[in-house]
Amino acid sequence: MSETNGNIDSERLETVSCYLCGSGDYRHFTDAWDDLTGKPGTFHFVRCKNCGLVYQNPRIKEDYIGQYYDDEYIAHRKKKDWGLMTPLYNWAMGKHDRQKTRLAERYVAITPTSRVLDIGCGAGTFLLRIHTLYGAEITGVDFKDLSALPGFDLIDFHSGSIAEQDLPAASFDLVTMWHFLEHDYAQLETLENVNRALKTDGILIIEVPRLDSLTFRLYRERWPGLQAPQHTVLYDKNSLLETVRKAGFEIQDYLPYGAFPAYFYLFSGLAFKYLKGKGLNLSRAVYPYFLGQLLATPILIFEKHLNLAMQTVVCRKPK
């Protein structure tokens, strides 16, 4: 059996061209590892010589990537018992959804007649909050079948990629992608499908890690935003804006921060530097995580001005 990338079977890997311009001309950017779970393998990110996009190449074939989203994957929130930290953990997760909601409310007036689509919806808690607050019709898409999770009877849930869904054209007032696009295997195709699904005055909100950020400069090959092999693309500000423009969107606003807490990247990057690929035991890390967050509060007050880790772009269809 031929192997490459550590213990990854070469038959599970594929070479890809640049997602943005289609060029096959690139240079090495950095190596990365599955620092979160400690699964074996060395993964390679390259920078396109033509347009500058940074992407993983080779990548795990889509048919095999599911094993890297196991039951411990935090966005799916299947773990409920965090010991003494459970109330604080639940509060933090709730705050994340509150931050998403506040951000969306700045650009869209959500009402009971609104239709909201969340791509990469995970546990669906953001959609459920939108439904509870406004009575809006909510739709979620995730490549994993999460329909057994609590509250999914209220969500029009679709499992698979956006290209596989029969979403009605010009039907959604708001589409969100909270840390989804960097996981996608066909970003431009996905964005073009979203463009068709949005109403004429609809809004698309995309949040992704920011490659040209302070935390990347601090941690480099151990930067949590690499999240290999799940992340297929690493966006700096210019490549993110160019991607959404190429998919036919106008940019309404750009934010050098997001709803996701930048502190997670500060903490995890330090842990990854120390552990060097052994994996982060979340049950043990939860205690130092919240203690560190308390100590870092003076810095986090200025998070929106420090370009720490995240970026958000707000888009609309051309008028």
Query: What domains does the chain contain, in order, with CATH numbers?
Result: 3-316 (3.40.50.150)
State the sign of the Cα–Cα–Cα–Cα dihedral 13, 5, 190, 73. positive
- Amino acid letter, 9: D
DSSP tag of 182: G
Give whole-number Cα distances, 45 to 22, 59, 241, in Å: 16, 9, 20
Nearest to 173 by CA among 104, 120, 231, 236: 104
Contact 75, 93 (CB under 8 A): no
Cα distance between residue 182 and residue 170, in whole Å = 25
- Hunting for tokens 């990338």 — which residue is that? 5
Nearest to 311 by CA among 265, 248, 260: 260
Cα distance between residue 144 and residue 110, in whole Å = 27
Per-residue pLDDT of the chain (319 residues), as tens digits, is 233 455 678 899 999 999 999 999 999 999 999 998 888 899 999 999 999 999 999 999 999 998 888 655 555 455 566 566 677 677 677 889 999 999 999 999 999 999 999 999 999 999 999 999 999 999 999 998 889 999 999 999 999 988 899 889 999 999 999 999 999 999 999 999 999 999 999 999 999 999 999 999 999 999 999 999 999 999 999 999 999 999 999 999 999 999 999 999 999 999 999 999 888 887 788 888 888 888 888 888 888 888 999 999 999 998 7
> Within 147-281, where are the H helices?
187-197, 214-219, 237-246, 263-275
* pLDDT value for 74: 54
Cα distance between residue 210 and residue 214, in whole Å = 9
Q: Using alpha carbons only, what angle is made at residue 170 by residues 164 and 174, rounded to the nearest 5 degrees? A: 85
* pLDDT value for 3: 36
Cα distance between residue 138 and residue 129, in whole Å = 10
Cα distance between residue 193 and residue 177, in whole Å = 13
Cα distance between residue 162 and residue 177, in whole Å = 12
What pTM was computed for the model? Answer: 0.93
Residues 6+ apart with CB under 8 A from 78: 71, 72, 123, 149
* pLDDT value for 2: 33
* pLDDT value for 166: 87
Cα distance between residue 145 and residue 142, in whole Å = 7
Q: Give rounded-to-5 percent helix, strand, coil for the chain.
A: 40, 25, 40
